[in-house]
Structures are given as C-alpha cells and as structure tokens.
Structure 1
Amino acid sequence: MDMQLNTNNAQVARFPKGLPPRRSQPVPKHETLALLRLGNLLHTNLSSPWVIEQFYRESHKPVGYTGLIYQYPGENTGFSHGVLGGHNCSYDLVLNGDYLGSLDLYKAQGFSDNDLVQVEHYLHVLLHPLRNALLFQKAQDRAFRDHLTGARNRAAFDSDLIVEIELAHRHNHPLSVIVMDIDHFKKINDSQGHNFGDEVLKYISQAAQEVIRGGDQLYRYGGEEFVVIAPHSALDGTRLLAERLRLRIYEQNYGGIQGLTLSSSFGVAQLRDNESASELFVRADQALYAAKHNGRNQVVA
C-alpha cells in the first residue's frame, strides 16, 4: 500500500513529494481498537462520499486535525468536511498501483511527526474501503449512462431524483426539474435517417451539458426526451435555464445541414412540501404537455 505525502507546516515542505519514510512505531492498544472499529464501519457502505465523511467523523478528533478535502479527478468527486485553513498535509492515495485520489488534512497548528504517524495509521484503514467504493461508483456510472449521448439514463434519473428530494426536504433548499422534448423529431429520422437522428441527439446532449450549471445533472429519459435535475434552484431561475437551453438547441448547427433548425418544448416544476419524486415529475411533464399544446418551442412552468 503506497501513499505519497507532502506536508506544509508554516509554508515549509517537511517532506518532498514522494513516499513517506517508513514509520515503525507500534500502534497503541486503544488506537488499534479504534482502527478496527473504523475499518469495520467503512466496509459497510459503497458510497465514496459516505466513506470519506465517516473517515472524517471517526478520525479528526483522535488525530487532532480540523478539516479535510478529498478529490478524485475525472469522476466529479470532490468534497470537504470540517474547518479548512491553517497548516496542512497532503496525500496522494495509491493502493497496489491504483490511484484513489488526493486527501488534504488541515490543522491550526503544524503537524508533528507523531501526528503524521497517527494520520498514516488511519489512512491505511481508509484505502481498501475507498477503493471498493470507487470501483462500485465506476460500475454504477456505466450502468447509469446512456451510451449514445453520454448523459445519464432513466434509471439514474429515477434513483437520483429520490436522493435529491430527500436532501431538499431535509435541508429546506429548493429543487426543480426540467423536462424537455425535441419538437417533430420523427421528421428528422424520416427525412435524414436514424443514424443522423442519433448524431442530432449527441449534439443536443453536448449543447445542454454546456448550458446547465455545475451542480445540475442531465438525463436522457427516452427517445428525444431529456430531463434536468436542478438542485438549489427555484422556479424562476430554472425557467430561465430552460429558456437558455431552448435557445441553444434552436441555434445549434446540426452536422452542417443548411437550413436545419430544431425547436424544443420544456416543462418546469419546483418541488413542493412533502412532494414525492413521481408527483414532481408528473407536474413537470404536464407543463411540457402544455408547452406542446400551446404551439411548441416554448417553456411552461
């Protein structure tokens, strides 16, 4: 098990980037029991955010650090816990050659050698559960990905919407959903062929990804219908987002075919108190139906 270490105490790098020196101090009995409990706990869940959160909860007091930042490039995985700032030590986590991300620990006072020994004891417990969680996350992402457009698929939407609604209700923040449908898409398939229709769907997915915010998520719900989950977004702001999406789709250049423009219709709904996922989606879908009934190429909220 390899860990690359860089510490920054009072802006002085105490160790160069690379493998830390081997630390041979025996683990105290009370710490051994705490590490065993932590290892058992971390192996009970395959969510990498949960694993990192529990690692922080169980280790920051015994070790004496105040906060951490975890980042895993390429997987949209990055989060922090506790109080950041002051002195820090940084680890690149590697297990049997597999890169598991970077972890920065923060402390008001500098990290002593004994602190770093204890940090590494806890980090070695973290590595296997974290690798398992990341492998599960990758497999789940493949299962939840629409292979044509690269957007997440309907199964992912059904799962993610339940989670986002629980978070919105728990933390009392707004949550909105956009349902969008490409107008008269069947004519594209009939006149240009299904292969070209597939390319158009890729263009639309890419254009939508460029318009939505960093915290939003795009899904291909089925056929030419897409959905956006917009956390922390109230109705008015989400309506404006849908309007930007509508304009972008209308102005998109689709494979260089002269004169080809596509319009799209949108339904928007904001989560209400005690509303379920199915109830929220039905209201957004009804708004989409109203947009189509009213002449298409518009947003209804």
Structure 2
Amino acid sequence: MSRLLVALVALLLSPAAARAEGGCEQWIAPALAEGPVTFGFLSADVATGRRACPRTEVGLGVQGGAIIETQNLYGAVTGAGLISGSFAVRPDLELFATLEALRFQYVQNASLTGTRMSLGQLTVGGTYMALTSGAFVLSPSVRLQLPTSFASPRTRTLGGEIGAAALYRPTNRFEVHGYAGVDASMGLGAADPLPLAGFLVNVGTEYALCSGFAAVLDANVHFGHRAVLDYVAPAVGLRFRAGEHFGAELGASLPVLGAERALAAGGLKLTYRM
C-alpha cells in the first residue's frame, strides 16, 4: 500500500513539476531553433521578432530577397552572409548580435546595371525574461542597429528597435509565439536623414514532429515604414538538428499585401548551441 501511495503521489506531482520548469525548459531538443522565422525584408535581423527564451549559440547563415518590377524596368537582388551569436548571461538574460559580414546587391534600371559588395549592418541587443507563469513566458527586448554598412557610399544607417516576445509552450513539442515591437532608423551623412519608424506584430506557431525536426508558420504585419501598411507576410520555416548541438533553419517570407516591393525574402542558418 505504501508503494502504491508513493507512486500515486509521484504521478500527481509530475505534471506540476513540468509546469514549474517553465516554458523555456520544456523544448524537446536544445539544438532546434525556437521563436519566429528570422528572415525579413530589412537589414540583418531588424523587424523579424525575437524568441522569448535566452540561449547561448553561434551561427552562420545566408539571406536574400528580390524585387522584380517589369512595368518600371527595375530589378534588384540582394544577399548577405550572416554571422550571429547569443550569450545567456543568466537563465533570464540574453545578449545577442547579428552582422552582415558581406552584403551583395545587383540592381538593374532600364539599361543601367550596378553591382556592389560591402560590409553590411551590425545589430546588437538584449532580451530579459521578465515574466514566467507555467507554460507562458514574456520577454522584453531591445536591439540597436549600428551604422556599419557601406552599401550606400555616402550614407550610414543608425536605428533601433524595442519590443516584447511572448511564448506559450504547453508541451515539449508545441508552442505559440508572438512579438510586438517598434523600430526606427535614420541616415547619417550629407544627405537628408529621412527618419523612418515602423511597428511589427508577429504571431506564429511551431510544432516538433520529432526531436530532430520542427515546422514553423508565422504571420507578420508591419506598419508605418513605407506606408500605413508595409506588408502582411506569412512566413514558413523548417528546422532540423544533428546531434545535441548543431541545428539548421530554412525559412522564407512572402508579402501578400502592402507597400513592400520585395517578391520574397528567405535564407538558411546553421547554428551551434552551447
């Protein structure tokens, strides 16, 4: 009888113990990426949202996009090689950075063409896990866009972003995530600074079919940067892991409404989680 009572108590307490771990500790495999798809329409990782859970990792990736406007005799293809990293200073605090180590742009306008390769934008920031309640996590985040890019020879871009990421992970295979943030930028140089500001809302879900594969589906809405409605853009991501530390993410985003000129944006990112 005593053994039966102990087993019953253990069975009743195990779900509570799982909830006490919090949503961030529930993920099925540490090497699988978490949070929103990170490939967007601006430089580096600006206005792509942020995951709620701190983690320590380093990553290499490529991302790009294309604008094709045959009616205006204009086309542009951009690509960037990315170096990224994050460091969990504490279980509730993360510092992160992303650098466009090499940015490529090809532009054709009527009979004129141009190609340019340069250093791109560097972003640095931090995320603080301010609230955890069972499976729910809320994490404010701030990101600074530094004027490192030489894509425009006479102008440097300075910007920033502030927002909050939310996570609800009731099981170790499924999560609902979201992000809301305000971003702003301006040019530094002899020309008009042209200050811009925008507001991003992201809502998405991720499901791990197994410990080695997860799929992500996001909805992104951005306001105010180019127009009242910049874009409504669904995004999809496929995430893989190899062993305990290596992971990969393949993602793409497609604007279906709004003033955004890009046909699509996407990329591939490889990470090593420590």
Q: TM-score, normalised by structure 1?
A: 0.23
Q: Which has the higher strand share?
A: 2
Q: TM-score, normalised by structure 2?
A: 0.24
Q: Which has the higher helix share?
A: 1
